[in-house]
Amino acid sequence: MRELTFREAISEALVQAMRGDQRIFIMGVGVDDPKGAFGTTSDALKQFGGSRVFDVPISENAMTGIAIGSAMDGLHPVLVHARNDFLLLTMDQLVNNAAKWSYMTAGKISVPMTVRAVIGRGWGQAAQHSQSLQALFAHVPGLKVVLPGGPFEAKGLLMSSLKEKAPVIFLEHRWLYEKKDGVPQEPYSLPLGKGRILRQGKDITIVAMSYMAWECRQVSVNLARQGIEAELIDPMTVSPLDVDIIVSSVRKTGRLLVVDTSFVFAGMSAEIVASVSERAGPALKSPVQRLGLPFAPTPCSAVLERVYYPDTGTIEQAVLRMLQNGSLEHFNVVSGKGYQAENPSSEWNGPF
């Protein structure tokens, strides 16, 4: 199968979906500039022109209202934000309007819109430009929240999102844009609310979201070299959340580690752990563990970033300790700090 980068997969999904559905259009700050929103909207602009791919003023709340109105009128807007932090300026429109219209009209009015936004760290993005706010949006009934963990997932989930009648928050991790994976050329969809087993295993279940799913692929390979078979699950959407696939895995392995790109406190990892405790608590052989961000805003300093963010080394050590009651005595930790620099790889060139 041919390989595409994450951004190419998103671009292809947009073009193929727009070709098949005249209702879809793209709006957002910079979607028609030379960078094309990380290169994801340039092909759509070339093929469909400025009437379907156009720039908007920096007025997030008003633009979201326009998107909601157009969706209620039968179109499907794709509203693009270069940061999910900017969505905080649109919360009234998203929470009180987009999410609720279908409920308040007994399903007579729907709001089919897709809001794309970038999450995660960059170089020195700091506290106001690198948050991962999936738990905040997942808390709102009526919003669907998607977190693709790789190029294959990105194309399939975006094509599904563009067929949805409900508003979808589609969160793309900045460090995934240059990651490559096999992506079918033909259009395909991955259902929202269904997770994916990335690697079968019997010793421990690792549930990892967005970029952390990509990191955990490497961790699971390192663990396998030591004879440890981790079952790796990417839920792909956190609202709706595929609890069944996680519970089924934990009943098999007896252990659960959840790795999120956001805060541990009151985050998606808390919801997953609570759900597993309710449905598969007796199957657990050891206490569950969660990895994510400390309950503090993101630092700007590269030195502090290395401490703040979990990485492959952190994840691998957590797994090994869970398997040996907190000790690393008989294991060789393959991953480690320094696996990542401030940039995930030389492929990543910013500036955003």
User: 3-5 and 180-182 as β-strands: parallel, antiparallel, unpaired?
Assistant: antiparallel
Cis peptide leading into residue 141 (ω within 30°) = no
* 283: three-class secondary structure by DSSP: helix
First to last CA, the chain: 30
- Bridge partner residues of 78 (DSSP): 26, 114
- Whether the CB-CB separation of 200 and 231 falls below 8 Å is answered with yes
The string of DSSP codes covering 219-271 is: HHHHHHTTT--EEEEE-SEEETB-HHHHHHHHHHHS-EEEEEEEESTTSHHHH
- Distance, in Å, from the CA atom of 64 to the CA atom of 66, rounded to the nearest integer, reads 5
**Hey, which residues are catalytic here?**
60, 129
Q: What CA–CA distance (Å, rounded) separates 62 from 296?
A: 30
Q: How far apart are CA 33 and CA 263, in angstroms?
A: 33
DSSP label at residue 282: G
